[in-house]
A and B are shown apart, each in its own frame.
Chain A
Amino acid sequence: MREITYAEAIREAMSEEMRRDESVFFFGEDIGIYGGAFGVSVGMIDEFGAERVRDTPISEAAIIGAAAGAAVSGSRPIAEIQFSDFISIGMDQLGNQAAKMRYMFGGHAEVPMVVRAPAGSGTGAAAQHSQSQEAWYCHIPGLKVVIPSTPYDAKGLLKTSIRDNNPVVFLEQKLLYRKKGEVPEEEYTIPLGKADIKREGSDLTIVTWGRMVSMVLEVADSLKEQFSIEVLDPRTLVPLDRDAIVNSARKTGHVLVVHEAVQTGGYGGEIVATVADSDAFYYLDAPVKRLGGLDIPIPYNPELERNAVPTPEKIEQAIRDLMA
Chain B
Amino acid sequence: MGELTEKQKAQALKTAKSLSNDKLRDMYTKMNHVRAFEDKVAYFFSRGMVHGTTHLYSGEEATAIGALANLDDEDLMTSTHRGHGHTIGKGIDLKKMMAELLGKESGYCRGKGGSMHIADLTRGNLGANGIVGGGIPIATGAGITLKLRNEGRVVVCFFGDGALNEGTFHESVNLASIWDLPVIYICENNQYGMSFSAKKSMNVDDLSVRAKAYGIPGVTVDGNDIFAVYEAVKKAKKHALKTGPYFIVSETYRFMGHSKSDANKYRSKEEIAEWKDRDPIPRMRAILVETGQFTDSELDAIEEQCKQDIEEAVKFAENSADPSVDSILDDVFAPSN
- Interface set of A (CB-CB < 8 Å, partner B): 29-30, 32-34, 37, 55-62, 85-86, 89, 123-129, 294-297, 299-305, 307-308
Contacts and interface: CB of A to CB of B under 8 A. Distances in A.
Contacts of A30: 194-196
A74 B112 CA distance: 46
Interface residues of B, number: 41
A169 B165 CA distance: 23
Interface stretch (B65-73, B88-96, B128-136, B222-230): B128-136
Contact of B325 (A34, A126, A307): A307
B111 A57 contact: no
Nearest to B162: A58
A125 B53 contact: yes
A57 B328 contact: no
Contacts of A297: 112, 332
Contacts of A58: 132-133, 162-163, 165-166, 193-194, 196, 201
A138 B132 CA distance: 26
Interface string B235-276: 000000000000000000000000000000110000000000
B51 interface: yes
B294 to A, nearest CB: 39
B306 interface: no
23 contacts: A32-B195, A56-B196, A58-B193, A58-B196, A61-B166, A62-B167, A123-B52, A124-B52, A124-B53, A124-B114, A126-B117, A126-B130, A127-B113, A129-B130, A295-B329, A299-B111, A299-B112, A300-B51, A300-B52, A300-B109, A300-B114, A304-B112, A308-B328
Given A29-B194, A62-B167, 11 more contacts: A30-B194, A34-B195, A34-B266, A125-B52, A125-B53, A128-B130, A129-B130, A294-B329, A297-B112, A300-B109, A300-B113
Contacts of A85: 130-131
B172 to A, nearest CB: 14
Nearest to B102: A301
Nearest to B101: A300
Interface string B189-207: 0000111100011100000
Contacts of B322: 301, 303
Most chain A beta-carbon neighbours within 10 Å: one of B51, B200, B322, B323: B51
A124 B50 CA distance: 9
A207 B196 CA distance: 41
Nearest to B167: A61
B166 A304 contact: no
Given A294-B328, A300-B109, A126 B166 contact: no
Interface string B38-54: 00000000000011110
B113 A295 contact: no
Contacts of A59: 165-167
Nearest to A296: B332
Contacts of B100: 300
A242 B131 CA distance: 37
Contacts of A129: 116, 130
A297 B329 CA distance: 9
B328 A89 contact: no
Given A55-B200, A57-B162, A128 B193 contact: no
B103 interface: yes
B112 A301 contact: yes
Contacts of A126: 52, 112-114, 116-117, 130
Given A34-B265, A124-B51, A127-B130, A29 B196 contact: yes
Contact of B103 (A57, A294, A295, A301): A301
B166 A89 contact: yes
Contacts of A56: 196
Given A34-B266, A89-B166, A300 B131 contact: no
A286 B109 CA distance: 42
A34 B200 CA distance: 14
A226 B73 CA distance: 62
Nearest to B332: A296
Contacts of A55: 195-196, 200
Nearest to A128: B130
A123 B165 CA distance: 27
B116 A304 contact: no
A300 B202 contact: no
B167 A304 contact: no
A84 B100 CA distance: 25
Contacts of B162: 57-58
A192 B327 CA distance: 41
- Lowest 9 A-B CB distances belong to which pairs? A124-B52, A300-B114, A128-B130, A124-B51, A34-B195, A57-B165, A301-B103, A301-B111, A57-B201
A86 B162 CA distance: 15
Interface in B311-337: 322-323, 325, 327-329, 332
Contact of A303 (B195, B325, B329): B325
Given A58-B132, A58-B166, A89-B166, A300 B194 contact: no
Interface string B273-307: 00000000000000000000000000000000000
A126 B51 CA distance: 10
